[in-house]
Chain A
């Protein structure tokens, strides 16, 4: 089945610096790649997603890039702020005959933005 690997597991940056989190997936049939942010003690929430028909997507300070050939995708956060501190999860969907969605998550990256 699908396997999603995420690196690094922890990332510490200074406020204002950029942060990059990388994920690889195993199933070339996966075609939807969301990123979720989970603040301490809270539920995960979608922050950005990308589909396999595009290579890059931006939303203000965050962007996601996708390399289908290499089967990896990355989250980029620019001008980091203390409120960006959280655990970030990547995920990939593998479809089964078009009837199901099974979102498989990476292991998460704890991002700490130092003021």
Chain B
């Protein structure tokens, strides 16, 4: 199993550009998440999904969109990129049982908006 795969690893955007961060998992996990980690800060939840066709907002959803058309894929879309979106983005997945489950993280995407 590859686990959770994120692409790209690094990206520089100009203000106002758009991009999609890709995330795929091959563990048949139901739950998938997107977190952002600002320098020296903790992990903030952007969006999450409990299954194909179901998504919901996390703590900091503004400026982002997601979709979950398949169990495996959970792309994160940035529209009209802003400097405040400069961060490291982590995708994660879990089986998602009622009591909580171990999160498996991707390797991260370092995004700079200039």
Contacts and interface: CB of A to CB of B under 8 A. Distances in A.
Q: How large is the interface on B (under 10, 10 to 19, 20 to 34, 35 or more residues)?
A: 20 to 34
Interface in B18-45: 31, 33, 35, 40-45
Given A43-B90, A43-B107, A104 B59 contact: yes
Contacts, number: 64
Interface string A19-41: 00000000000011010100000
Contacts of B106: 43
Chain A contact residues: over half helix, strand or loop, or mixed?
Answer: strand
A2 B43 CA distance: 14
A93 interface: yes
Q: How large is the interface on A (under 10, 10 to 19, 20 to 34, 35 or more residues)?
A: 20 to 34
Contacts of A108: 40-42
B79 interface: no
Interface string B56-72: 10110000000000000
Contacts of A93: 99-100
Nearest to A45: B105
Interface in A73-106: 89, 93, 95, 98-106
Nearest to B96: A101
Given A44-B43, A100-B50, 7 more contacts: A1-B59, A6-B42, A31-B100, A44-B103, A49-B100, A103-B100, A108-B40
